[in-house]
Structure 1
Amino acid sequence: MTTAPVTAEGRGMRRQVWVLTLAVLSAFVLALNLGNATAAHAEYPGPNPPQAPADCNRPWVILSAYGTSESTDDGHPYGTVGVNDTYIRALEDALSGAGVPASDITVRDLYYPASAVDWPSWLPGNWGPDDYWTSMGKGRDRLVQEVGFYASCPNRPTLILLGYSQGAQVIKNAIAQGAIQGNQRNSDEIGAVVNVGDASRSNAQIGMEQDGQMVTLNPDYTDGTASVSRGGLMQRLDVPGVFAGFIGDGRYFDVCRTDDLVCNEQAVPGSDEWKNRWLQDFADSAIGDNAPHVMYRDNGNTQSPGDKANADRVAARTAQRAVTAAVAQRNVVHPPPDTPEQVWATNVNVRATPSTSARIVTVIPAPTTVYVKCQKHAESVTYGGITNDAWSYLPQQQGWISNIFLKGPAWMPGVPECP
């Protein structure tokens, strides 16, 4: 996708957004019950981001949830600037490296308010229409709907969810819903999750940092340490186990700087300490063109070349890992086709287990093509002076055939080993 430049006028608007938002936020956040998001009710009344309706046409979908008030002006709609754009490009590059052509990828913005203040529509500015938790709740519910839509597609496209700031919190809350984590078809639809600057990060979750899925960066972009006492400014929420995985097989990836208090806040949300410091911590992290919370991007006009290169490197590394996980997950939903092999003999027995004493399930009467799912070492078979202990599973026949009756080497190349 084409990156829209951030104009001086656009940057000025973004600063005004945050300054005014902060002033109003200080009055409403203290009354919130943090950790219990308001359920969504009405649709977002604002203009729909300029994109076609969701469809089942392409096998890969990058679904991007932007951060609070992430729009510079009418000419640069949500998701086309900043952190989301940096990571979208990184994911597209990683998919290309995995052999996925650009024509197979759809990039979509998640349609949700991304607002922080219940701002009357008759007042100037783009700061509403909802308070933060209502906005987050609407995004959460919309994302659950989107995942369900794609899971219902006959071709089962693979989703990569990308979230930044409030958008990351939206994704974390959505995948924690029973409709996703408790529904295998829906959870299988998600190939990977990439969250950046997550306002609901939980540093205390065991295993995520050790496995490298949670990346914590020092201000110079070197790898840092996530203190378990720190986490999201607005919420602390663990990643559901179905996505967290174990060593090497998780599908959830997270990036946070140690100096970004939106995702690495000291005070626990809702505590007295938090009430006294959250506003200043948010301002220190999020206001300004080079504030820590926006330095995950590689397209800031006032960023140094070194910061841009480092941000790009981190995004590329994270995207590569996410795409590797997503490809593996896609293979779960869409198993690679069985390998065609040639039977050269006549009246070959196909057995229930890889043993000559096992029950015969069928007989292949003449040379033909069979489809092999996998192979394994088992009982040795000798025929025509040749001995081989490899057997292949034929899913169409629902049984095993000795590799000695298949053309080619004893252990067939390109055929996976059976578990």
Structure 2
Amino acid sequence: MRGFTGLVLGSLVIVASAATPTSSASSAPAPSSNTTCAQSLYILVARGSGEAIVPPGAVKYPDYTGLAGVLALNISSQIPGSVIGGVVYPALEPVVTNLTTYYESEGNGTSAIADEVAAYTKKCPGVKIALMGYSQGAQVVQDALCGGLGTDGFNDDPPMPASLVENNADTLGSVIAVALIADPSHIANTTYDHGNSTHNGVFARTNTTACDPYVARGLYGSWCQANDIFCDSGNSTTIHTYEPLTYEDQIVQFVVDKWNNYTKEASSSPSGTGSPSGTATGTATTASGTNAAGRLLGQGSSQSLLVGASVALVSWLL
């Protein structure tokens, strides 16, 4: 996440420097920054609010992935044949006097993940996917899998079809790991909590029914540190900013273990693994004017969200 100097007022952050635009308002982007078929694991990462598309400075990670991309690189180094993709969505920091930009940006990301999973599994049969999200990106992953919160101004999209997650060339499912980092919709004291948080997030999820089967399969991991301003409803932005690095070793090991467990299960499964091959190109297409999340096409245009983003001085950092 980009550096900032700010004054914290409750859960509001007044940023002392102008926000950097996260994208341009040119042609509509593809759902993902990388559509090459993985020979092993596809790691799809959703960055946090305000994180630059192209990594700034000396820290290097794949485009569109943000700081969580560093973790994805560490995972890929332990799983040969992995491919990393970043979710292409605005990831905007909302102005505190109007959260509309955050609501719409988060909804845009939800649709983008659903579309990318649909497109990738179609182009790369047998692919295995790990979904990772940091901050707003973690909420995006949750909404794509569990359905939109539907409260305040958040989308109420249905969850992506379970068939995209559970059935892809073999009975073991496509998505084998879900890693949520500093999720604003975090629920404390769940069976999949790995941090030391004891409080709900500022946008706590009230309904996990659609995700319960994935949780039961052990796919989920959520990391939230105590006093994080957003996932723990605390008062520290510093904790939130560096959370991907705080839990880096745990998260990397979590995903690697899920991959190793999958390969063991696959070797004993009579259905085989359906190894992916080739290269995926293009974007997801769906019928009846909706995308894979059931969202009407044309809603939440990223171009309209980006107008004026570069001049926002008062932001909520998520």
Candidates 251, 256, 270, aligned match of 1:318 = 251
Question: Where does residue 200 of structure 1 map in the other structure?
Answer: 185
Superposed CA offset, 1:16-55 (max 9, x none): 7999x9459xxxxxxxxxxxxxxxxxx9836859x86513
Structure number with higher relative contact order (C-alpha < 8 Å, ≥ 6 residues apart): 2
Q: What are the within-5 Å matches in structure 2 for residues 192-341 of structure 1?
A: 192-203=177-188, 205=190, 208=191, 213-217=192-196, 226=198, 230-237=199-206, 239=208, 240-245=211-216, 249-265=217-233, 284-286=235-237, 291-298=238-245, 311=246, 314-329=247-262, 335-336=266-267
State the shift of 1:75 in Å: 4.7
C-alpha distance 73-139 of structure 1, shift in aligned 2 (>3 A)? closer
Per the alignment, do residues 74 and 63 of structure 1 end up closer, same or farther by CA in structure 2, a change over 3 Å counting? closer
SS at match of 1:188: coil
Structure 1 residue 106 corresponds to structure 2 residue 79: no
Identity among equivalent positions (%) equals: 19
Preserved contact between residue 47 and residue 66 of structure 2 (Cα < 8 Å)? no
| CA deviations over 1:286-331 (Å, ceiling 9, x no partner) | 2xxxx11023244xxxxxxxxxxxx3xx322232122222343466
Secondary structure in 2 aligned to 1:141? helix
Which residue, out of 172, 175, 180, partners 1:190? 175
Compute the displacement of 1:105 (Å): 1.2
SS in 2 for 1:214: coil
Task: Report the Cα distance in structure 2 between the residues aligned to 1:154 and 1:85, rounded to whole angstroms.
Answer: 22
Structure 1 residues without counterparts, runs of 5 or longer:
1-5, 25-42, 120-127, 218-224, 266-280, 299-310, 339-372, 374-419
Match of 1:176 among 143, 146, 151: 146
Q: Rate the CA distance shift 1:18–1:155 in 2: closer, same or farther, 3 A.
A: farther
- In the TM superposition, residue 154 of structure 1 has moved relative to its aligned partner by 4.6
Is the contact between residue 60 and residue 158 of structure 1 (CA under 8 Å) also seen in structure 2?
Answer: yes
How far apart, CA to CA, are the structure 1 residues paired with 2:186 and 2:140? 12
Q: By percentage of residues, which structure has more strand?
A: 1
1:131 maps to 2:101: yes
SS at match of 1:67: coil
Please give the TM-score of this superposition, normalised by the length of structure 2.
0.62
Give the number of the structure whose alpha-carbon radius of gyration is greater: 1
Say if 2:224 and 2:232, in contact at 8 Å, map to a contact too.
Answer: yes
- CA gap 1:52/1:163 in 2 versus in 1, 3 angstroms: closer
Tell me the alpha carbon deviations over residues 218-266 of structure 1, each in whole angstroms, 9 at most, x when there is no partner.
Answer: xxxxxxx62xxx2111232555112211xxx50111111111031112x
> For this pair of structures, how many residues does the alignment match?
237
Q: Distance in 1 between matches of 2:160 and 2:24?
A: 22
Please provide the CA RMSD for this pair.
3.8
Contact 1:199 1:233 in 2 (8 A): yes
Indicate how the Cα distance of structure 1 residues 158 and 110 shifts in structure 2: closer, same or farther if over 3 A, else same.
Answer: same
